[in-house]
Amino acid sequence: MSADTVISLNLATTREVWGFAEAVDGCLRAGITAISPWRDQIAAIGLDEAARIVRDNKLQVTGVCRGGMFPAETAEGRQQAIDDNHRAIDEAAALNADCLVLVVGGLPESSKDIAGARQMVTDGIAAMLPHAKASGVKIAIEPLHPMYAADRACVNTIDQALDICEALGETVGVAIDVYHVWWDPYLARAIARAGRMKRIFAHHICDWLVPTTDMLLDRGMMGDGVIDLKAIRAMIEAAGFHGPQEVEIFSRDNWWKRPGDEVLAVIKERVASVC
């Protein structure tokens, strides 16, 4: 890890104990000045107040989570998703976020057409791009582990995301979350490709536990699992991205039950020693 690498707290990591304002206060106590909030957390405090807190504390917002969820059975459903993504762009712009992170969506209800779902994703992003460009907001596609292909994200590798980026232009890049991509045998090649394209907009970290007891809500603290975090960070830095490592841990039975200050203390220690 390079000396200037900093930590960003994805506010999902402390969502059960802290709201937006409390999480910011905890981060400042810990010397962390970058955050990535979720839209429900922004809504709970109000966009104007969230923007004020960010502005007054000179915080970097490494991303807003999340837009996406494009595939739908009907044209009306697909348009509703695009409209919601326009609102997400407005929220990201108000917070001066580095990017809006997309979880693109899975198969529409009873469909078995994953290729069709992926086309809906490309079409949906294309439809939101004019508003994103006008608002100065970058769009970061987050490939999710294949176990989520049916219900959360039919884009499952960095290469799949980069193919969409190539089709749509420079406003669209990738958020590389180690939890979702560590297993990919072509990971090094894909990260290098993203670097050549200058499309790495965010880097999310946590760990993959063995065993994993819940595919959504049992992520590990860095160092508690099997992901080679140092190796992946080295690939990402070699590809030209030196931005914050954004800690995003969904942990219903462990870290979500601990005091936020304790969680942040462990995060700082693990980023220094493991990442």
Give just the sign of the alpha carbon dihedral 169, 181, 38, 241: negative
pTM over 0.95: yes
Closest Cα partner for 59 from 33, 20, 95, 24?
33
- Where along the chain do its domains lie? 7-273
Please give the structure tokens belonging to residue 263.
């969680």
DSSP 214: -
Please give the structure tokens belonging to residue 248.
């995003």
What torsion, rounded to 10 degrees, do the Cα atoms 233, 266, 17, 228 define? Answer: 30
- Say how many C-beta atoms besides its own lie within 10 A of residue 230's C-beta: 11
Q: Which residues of 91-125 are buried (b: 16+ CB within 10 A; e: fewer)?
A: bbbbbebbbbbbbbbbbbeeeeeeeebbebbbebb
Please give the structure tokens belonging to residue 63.
């991303």
Per-residue pLDDT of the chain (275 residues; tens, 9 = 90+): 344 559 999 999 999 999 999 999 999 999 999 999 999 999 999 999 999 999 999 999 999 999 999 999 999 999 999 999 999 999 999 999 999 999 999 999 989 999 999 999 999 999 999 999 999 999 999 999 999 999 999 999 999 999 999 999 999 999 999 999 999 999 999 999 999 999 999 999 999 999 999 999 999 999 999 999 999 999 999 999 999 999 999 999 999 999 999 999 999 999 999 99
Residues 6 or more apart in contact with residue 149 via CB below 8 angstroms: 106, 107, 114, 156
The dotted CATH code for 7-273 is: 3.20.20.150
